[in-house]
Chain A
Amino acid sequence: MTAASVSLPGPRPLLTRSAFSGVMVALLVVCAVAPVLNLVVPEGSPFHLSDYMVGLLGKIMCYAICALAMDLIWGYTGILSLGHGLFFALGGYVMGMYLMRQIGRDGNYQSDLPDFMVFLDWKELPWHWALSDSFVATLVLIVLVPGLVAFVFGYFAFRSRIKGVYFSIITQALTYAALLLFFRNETGLGGNNGFTDFKRILGLPLATPGMRMTLFVITGLTLLGFYLLARWIVASKFGRVLQAIRDAESRVMFCGYNPLPYKLAIWTLSAVMCGIAGALYVPQVGIINPSELSPANSIEIAIWAAVGGRASLIGPIVGAFLVNGAKSWLTVAFPEVWLYCLGALFIAVTLFMPHGVVGLARQWRQRRAAVRAASAPAPAGAPREESAA
Chain B
Amino acid sequence: MTPDLQQDGAQRHERALAAVAPGATESGGRTAGFSRLVQPGEVDVAHGRILYLDDVHVSFDGFKAINGLSLDIAPGELRCIIGPNGAGKTTMMDIITGKTRPDRGSVFFGSTIDLLRHREAEIAALGIGRKFQKPTVFEQLTVFENLELALATDKRVRRSLRFALDSTQRDRVAEVLQTIHLAAAVDRPAGLLSHGQKQWLEIGMLLMQEPRLLLLDEPVAGMTDEETERTAELFLQLKGRHSLMVVEHDMHFVRAIAEKVTVLCDGAVLAEGTLDEVQADERVIEVYLGR
Bound CA span A198–B51, Å: 69
- Does chain B have a CB within 8 A of A236? yes
Determine whether the beta carbon of B136 is less than 8 Å from that of A244: no
- Nearest-Cβ distance from residue A211 to partner chain B, whole angstroms: 37
Q: Which residue of B is nearest A381, CB measured?
A: B187
Given A8-B186, A240-B141, the answer on whether A248 and B161 have CB atoms closer than 8 Å is: no
Given A3-B178, A8-B173, A257-B155, the answer on whether A389 and B184 have CB atoms closer than 8 Å is: yes
Contact pick for A251, options B119, B138, B177, B187, CB 8 Å: B138
Q: Which residue of A is nearest B126, CB measured?
A: A256
Residue-wise interface mask of B (142-166) relative to A, using a CB-CB cutoff of 8 A (1 in contact, 0 not): 1011001110100111001111100
Determine whether the beta carbon of A251 is less than 8 Å from that of B121: no
The B7-31 residues at the A interface (CB cut-off 8 A) are none
The B166-205 residues at the A interface (CB cut-off 8 A) are 170-171, 173-175, 177-178, 183-187, 205
Determine whether the beta carbon of B160 is less than 8 Å from that of A251: no
B-side contacts of A384, CB under 8 Å: 184
Binding site for B on A (CB under 8 A): 1, 3-4, 6-9, 11, 233, 236-238, 240-241, 243-244, 246-248, 250-259, 261-262, 265, 311, 384-385, 388-389
Contact pick for A8, options B140, B141, B144, CB 8 Å: B144
Determine whether the beta carbon of B171 is less than 8 Å from that of A251: no
Bound CA span A254–B142, Å: 19
Bound CA span A261–B173, Å: 26
Determine whether the beta carbon of B184 is less than 8 Å from that of A9: no
A-side contacts of B124, CB under 8 Å: 253-256
Interface size on B, residues (CB 8 A): 46
| Most-contacted residue by chain B among A240, A255, A258 (CB, 10 A) | A255
B-side contacts of A244, CB under 8 Å: 138, 141, 149
Closest 9 CB pairs between A and B?
Answer: A388-B184, A256-B124, A253-B120, A237-B163, A238-B160, A3-B174, A258-B121, A6-B174, A256-B125
Determine whether the beta carbon of B175 is less than 8 Å from that of A248: no
Q: Which residue of A is nearest B191, CB measured?
A: A247
Contact pick for A236, options B99, B140, B163, CB 8 Å: B163
- Nearest-Cβ distance from residue A178 to partner chain B, whole angstroms: 28
B-side contacts of A8, CB under 8 Å: 144, 170, 173-174, 186
Given A236-B160, A256-B152, the answer on whether A243 and B178 have CB atoms closer than 8 Å is: no
A-side contacts of B175, CB under 8 Å: 3
- Does chain A have a CB within 8 A of B129? yes
Determine whether the beta carbon of B183 is less than 8 Å from that of A6: yes
Determine whether the beta carbon of B141 is less than 8 Å from that of A255: no
A-side contacts of B220, CB under 8 Å: none
Bound CA span A261–B156, Å: 8
Determine whether the beta carbon of A255 is less than 8 Å from that of B149: yes
A-side contacts of B262, CB under 8 Å: none
Contact pick for A254, options B97, B140, B144, B185, CB 8 Å: B97
Bound CA span A21–B162, Å: 25
